[in-house]
Amino acid sequence: MTLQPLPNLRDVFKAQKHVYRYLKPTPLYHYAGLSRLVGAEVWVKHENHQPAGAFKIRGGVNLAATLSDEQQKAGLLTASTGNHGQSIAYAGQLKGVPVTIAMPEGANPGKVAAIRSFGAEVVFAGQDFDEAREWAAERARQTGALFVGPADFPLIAGVATYALEILQDLPDVDTIIVPVGGGSGASGVCTVAKTINPAIEVIAAQSAQAPAAQLSWKAGVPVEAKMRTFAEGVATRVPFELPQRILRQHLDDFALVDDEDIKAAIVLHLEHTRNLVEGAGAVSLAAALQLKGQLAGKKVALVVSGGNLALEKLKLLL
Amino acid sequence: MTLQPLPNLRDVFKAQKHVYRYLKPTPLYHYAGLSRLVGAEVWVKHENHQPAGAFKIRGGVNLAATLSDEQQKAGLLTASTGNHGQSIAYAGQLKGVPVTIAMPEGANPGKVAAIRSFGAEVVFAGQDFDEAREWAAERARQTGALFVGPADFPLIAGVATYALEILQDLPDVDTIIVPVGGGSGASGVCTVAKTINPAIEVIAAQSAQAPAAQLSWKAGVPVEAKMRTFAEGVATRVPFELPQRILRQHLDDFALVDDEDIKAAIVLHLEHTRNLVEGAGAVSLAAALQLKGQLAGKKVALVVSGGNLALEKLKLLL
């Protein structure tokens, strides 16, 4: 298997042309309440404001723009707990490309409905994301459809456009904290921030109940780990090769935060930003509160990766 | 008392220069789920994505930019149930102008906290918005501070910038539905839409439990009415002169929607747009569902005026 190349800043500039044909920059807002809680100057990058409610859409749009005619005809096949699937479904709809998304049983019903509303077929396959992914990869081999890995090159280059927006809006940002599921977001932030200013600290964060990406990053080799987080946006059991290579090269730190702290951070977001944030999206705030000591007085950007919290989960939290 | 002049499109263009120094355009997104429910092509103007969570901030920024040195020194005084107060407090902080906001007892605690976080003084005065407003007007006479009415000329010109964004993003919009509390938003939409294309239908909507603005518009003279809505953003008991004059000239229709339907629309927004929307913000969707028949097949823009729903209310709704 040949390794995918690493995306660089030029690839991100190319992606911008595609992304901004369909999407607008999301805001980066300062919140006094969160700043007091963290003891730092806290800014929030609102990827939850995207049309499908999550940052992934940038990657899907970039991917769709770079498909060959044959790939468009053959269609796209991928697996997702929701946001990545929405992104690929949205992108497929833009280009009239047939899309099939494999999802784990019991997936967030709002995300399932959203994927279908973008005209994609949903197939439930397996108990978790990684089982669905294996099914999708096998099915792609059988049908000739293009299997899209959730952290492939065009997706990373696409989502990295939000990192550029952070640096344009807050050029003297000290620290960016970004949630990790597959790692495309964190890879995009590393690619952009470390090229423009290597002094910017990039901290990844994941649920302690789904630590595969963190353990792999620490070990320097792929490590599988138990996955039992409620936050489906960071619910990976197996690490991905391309983002892991990027994170190994660039990432400064990788925090694990407990699911209970993620839930508390969802409520803090409601209180202080009045934004509905999903579990994965709240991971960055949970990590900032955990790392308070080392963030004191800094300009910190928290990436809120998505806002697609299931109504039932919201009820339980409140 | 001399009447304020009516703002026109030139005033809105002037306001844009001030507004875009501090704020970005908000997105207008299409939602397939809402479109199915309403039986129309439904777009949502996301003023809930503003930094203080509501459209009012545009007016505050425009007002602040046009204050004289003397007015800046004397400070600003106004009354608010929350969003208008946040807007003026935010604007005061931008310019270093002292701000006092009179709020009714029992005001939304999140909005009170937000106003204080912008450095303004909060005084609780009276049982509802209009009592707080009377207190603030009297206090301004005593202190020489500038009393800002919640639908004054610079505020209407400022908030009208979102209407321009709607027309730029969706030039062939058929109908715009906009919530009314004081009426600055609806006035801004009328000013812009009817100047650019008089065929655009502008429909205002308010809670049936706070119908003063609607009754005044229908009667052609100011009418007070009982106010017992839960949606503080549209909770006015007394109509305002300037917006009423604009609405009388331009508005096509003015719907009243029951509080129970507004509450249902908040939950529909959570389900279909994954946005936390406050009562006032959900009024436009509630009205669209009520007016389904006449909207069939049209391109409809629903203004979501704000997202500052108190956590306690959200709990009750779910």
Q: Under a CB-based contact definition with an 8 Å cutoff, are residues A318 and B318 in contact? A: yes
Is residue B124 very low, low, confident or very high in pLDDT (cuts 50, 70, 90)?
A: very high
Q: In this structure, which amino acid lies at residue A211? A: P
Nearest to A228 by CA among A68, A104, A61: A104
**DSSP-derived secondary structure for A253-282:** EEEEE-HHHHHHHHHHHHHHT-----HHHH
Residue contact B270–A117, C-beta within 8 A: no
Distance, CA of A89 to CA of A307 (rounded, Å): 18
Å from A163 to nearest chain B CA?
Answer: 18
Looking up tokens 């703002």, which residue turns up? B7
Point out the residue among A29, A110, A271 whose CB comes nearest to the CB of B311. A271
Å from A2 to nearest chain B CA?
Answer: 39
Q: Under a CB-based contact definition with an 8 Å cutoff, are residues B229 and B258 in contact? A: no
| B239-295 pLDDT per residue, tens | 999 999 999 999 999 999 999 999 999 999 999 999 999 999 999 999 999 999 999
Q: Which one is catalytic: A87, A184, A305, A313? A: A305
Q: Residue A1: is its pLDDT beyond 70?
A: no
pLDDT at B4: 85
Q: Residue A39: is its pLDDT beyond 80?
A: yes
Q: Residue B88: is its pLDDT beyond 80?
A: yes
Residue contact A274–B33, C-beta within 8 A: no
Pairing type for strands A41-46 and A76-79 reads unpaired
The residues, any chain, with a CB within 8 Å of residue B300's CB and separated by 6 or more, are B38, B40, B41, B42, B43, B173, B174, B175, B176, B177, B288
Å from A276 to nearest chain B CA?
Answer: 6
Is residue A123 very low, low, confident or very high in pLDDT (cuts 50, 70, 90)?
A: very high
Q: Under a CB-based contact definition with an 8 Å cutoff, are residues A212 and A228 in contact? A: no
Q: Under a CB-based contact definition with an 8 Å cutoff, are residues A154 and A59 in contact? A: yes
Residue contact B33–A271, C-beta within 8 A: no
pLDDT at B13: 98
Taking residues B30-40, what's their average pLDDT? 95
Q: Does A311 touch chain B (CB under 8 A)?
A: yes
Taking the alpha carbons of B7, B13, B15, B16 in that order, is the dihedral positive or negative? positive
Residue contact A270–B32, C-beta within 8 A: no
Q: Torsions phi, psi of B101, nearest 5?
A: -120, 120
Taking the alpha carbons of A173, A175, A181, A185 in that order, is the dihedral positive or negative? positive
Pairing type for strands B146-147 and B76-79 reads parallel
How far, in Å, are A114, B176, B272, B274 from residue B36 at the CA level? 13, 18, 11, 16
Point out the residue among B32, B113, B276 whose CB comes nearest to the CB of A117. B32
Q: Residue A2: is its pLDDT beyond 90?
A: no
| B152-200 pLDDT per residue, tens | 999 999 999 999 999 999 999 999 999 999 999 999 999 999 999 999 9
- Put simply, the chain B residues between 195 and 254 with a CB less than 8 A from any chain A CB are none
Residue contact A49–B27, C-beta within 8 A: yes
Active site (catalytic) residues of B: 56, 305
**DSSP-derived secondary structure for B105-118:** TT--HHHHHHHHHT
| A59-73 pLDDT per residue, tens | 999 999 999 999 999
The count of C-alpha atoms lying within 13 angstroms of the C-alpha of B95, restricted to the half-sphere facing its C-beta, is 27
Burial (0-12, 13-18, 19+ Cβ within 10 Å), B27:
buried
Distance, CA of A242 to CA of A206 (rounded, Å): 18
- Put simply, the chain B residues between 67 and 126 with a CB less than 8 A from any chain A CB are 110, 113-114, 117-118
Pairing type for strands A299-304 and A253-257 reads unpaired
pTM: 0.92
How far, in Å, are B91, B112, B310 from residue B56 at the CA level? 10, 15, 18
Q: What is the DSSP code (8-state) at residue B82?
A: S
**CB-defined contacts A:B, below 8 A:** 63
What tokens were used for B109? 């605690």
| Residue A299 annotated among the catalytic residues of the structure | no
Distance, CA of B87 to CA of B141 (rounded, Å): 22
Q: Does A16 touch chain B (CB under 8 A)?
A: no
Q: Under a CB-based contact definition with an 8 Å cutoff, are residues B114 and B308 in contact? A: yes
Count CB neighbours of A231 within 10 A: 27
Beta bridge partners of B113: none
Give B48's contacts in chain A (Cβ within 8 Å).
274
Residue contact A308–B274, C-beta within 8 A: yes
| Residue A56 annotated among the catalytic residues of the structure | yes
Distance, CA of A239 to CA of A130 (rounded, Å): 10
Point out the residue among B118, B270, B307 whose CB comes nearest to the CB of A274. B307
Q: Residue A91: is its pLDDT beyond 80?
A: yes
pLDDT at B214: 97
3-state secondary structure of A71: helix
Q: What share of chain A is helix, strand, coil (3-state, %, to 5)?
A: 50, 15, 35
- How far from the centroid of its chain's Cα atoms is residue A139's Cα? 24
Q: Does A55 touch chain B (CB under 8 A)?
A: no
Taking residues A286-293, what's their average pLDDT? 98
3-state secondary structure of A42: strand
Q: Under a CB-based contact definition with an 8 Å cutoff, are residues A163 and A192 in contact? A: yes
Is residue B105 very low, low, confident or very high in pLDDT (cuts 50, 70, 90)?
A: very high
Is residue A216 very low, low, confident or very high in pLDDT (cuts 50, 70, 90)?
A: very high
Q: Residue B16: is its pLDDT beyond 60?
A: yes
| B188-197 pLDDT per residue, tens | 999 999 999 9
Q: Which one is catalytic: A45, A56, A111, A194? A: A56
Q: Does B316 touch chain A (CB under 8 A)?
A: no
Distance, CA of B143 to CA of B126 (rounded, Å): 19
The residues, any chain, with a CB within 8 Å of residue A36's CB and separated by 6 or more, are none
ipTM of the complex as predicted: 0.88
Distance, CA of B110 to CA of A284 (rounded, Å): 22
Nearest to A280 by CA among A71, A48, A112: A48
Looking up tokens 């730029």, which residue turns up? B168
Give A308's contacts in chain B (Cβ within 8 Å).
274
Taking residues A199-208, what's their average pLDDT? 98
Taking residues A114-131, what's their average pLDDT? 92
Å from A221 to nearest chain B CA?
Answer: 37
pLDDT at B2: 74
Ordered domains of chain A (ranges, CATH):
9-54+153-317 (3.40.50.1100), 57-147 (3.40.50.1100)
Q: Residue A119: is its pLDDT beyond 80?
A: yes
pLDDT at B62: 96
Is residue B65 very low, low, confident or very high in pLDDT (cuts 50, 70, 90)?
A: very high
The count of C-alpha atoms lying within 13 angstroms of the C-alpha of A75, restricted to the half-sphere facing its C-beta, is 18
Å from B247 to nearest chain A CA?
Answer: 31
By C-alpha distance, the chain B residue nearest A307 is B274
Taking residues A275-289, what's their average pLDDT? 97
Quote the radius of gyration of chain B (alpha carbons, Å): 18
Å from B216 to nearest chain A CA?
Answer: 33
Q: Under a CB-based contact definition with an 8 Å cutoff, are residues A26 and A162 in contact? A: yes
Distance, CA of A271 to CA of B116 (rounded, Å): 14
Q: CA B308, B203, B196 angle in degrees (round to 5)?
A: 105
Pairing type for strands A99-103 and A76-79 reads parallel
Point out the residue among B49, B51, B314 whose CB comes nearest to the CB of A318. B314
Taking residues A176-181, what's their average pLDDT? 97
pLDDT at A258: 98
Taking residues A22-32, what's their average pLDDT? 93
- How far from the centroid of its chain's Cα atoms is residue A182's Cα? 7
